[in-house]
Amino acid sequence: MSDFLMQSPELDAAIRRPFVAVAVVMRRERIDNRWQPWRWVLADVVPDEVGFGERPRLLLKDEREERWLHPGFKVELFTDDAEGYYLNVTTLRPCFWVVWRMEEEAALADEPVAVPQIVTLSYHDAGRWLDAQETVEQVAAPLDVVQWLQHFVDEHHVLEAKRRQRPQSFKPLQDRFGNPARVSTDKKFGGAGHG
């Protein structure tokens, strides 16, 4: 069992939405590429701890990799995004999604570092960020977070009743501009000499 601290509104009246406190571990790893010898990837999402402090810090650095810890993320659950959580929790591998960006100028180290921006459990949020051309990576969520998310989904998600779709044969034909299309069996092309 992991040490994720999950909060629910009934536990504390000052908290309006359930949330889990997390920290993100980013990894800079050496790759075999002469134009780009390093790349940044999401390494893990871990329970946030008071001992982590409030600022990002270097955990490991050697000739093969660097690992940076970024504490202080709050993954809140919103009732109006219950479908996004449902889509996550019903997959084979429910996960955290992390949006991260490179520093424009080096502030944490001698070279720019990958800095997480947002952590979510919503499939919809991840899709919107991907559509916006953001860097979004995922890591598996531990069982206790998945169970907590499932409880939220059970409480707030309502499956929409499927409406019967009208058969395609009953829809009027339209051209690509939305005008009524004309269908003819008359031959338009070819010579009159064919038998």
User: How confident is the model over 92-140, as pLDDT tens digits?
Assistant: 999 999 999 999 999 999 899 999 999 999 999 999 999 999 999 999 9
Percent of the chain residues topping a pLDDT of 70: 76
pLDDT (average), residues 42-48: 97
Distance CA 68, CA 43 (A): 9
pLDDT (average), residues 17-27: 95
pLDDT at 184 over 50: yes
pTM of the full structure: 0.74
pLDDT (average), residues 47-71: 94
pLDDT at residue 149 in the model: 96
Find out whether 135 and 97 touch, Cβ atoms under 8 Å. Answer: no
CA distances from 101 to 76, 112, 136 (A): 21, 10, 9
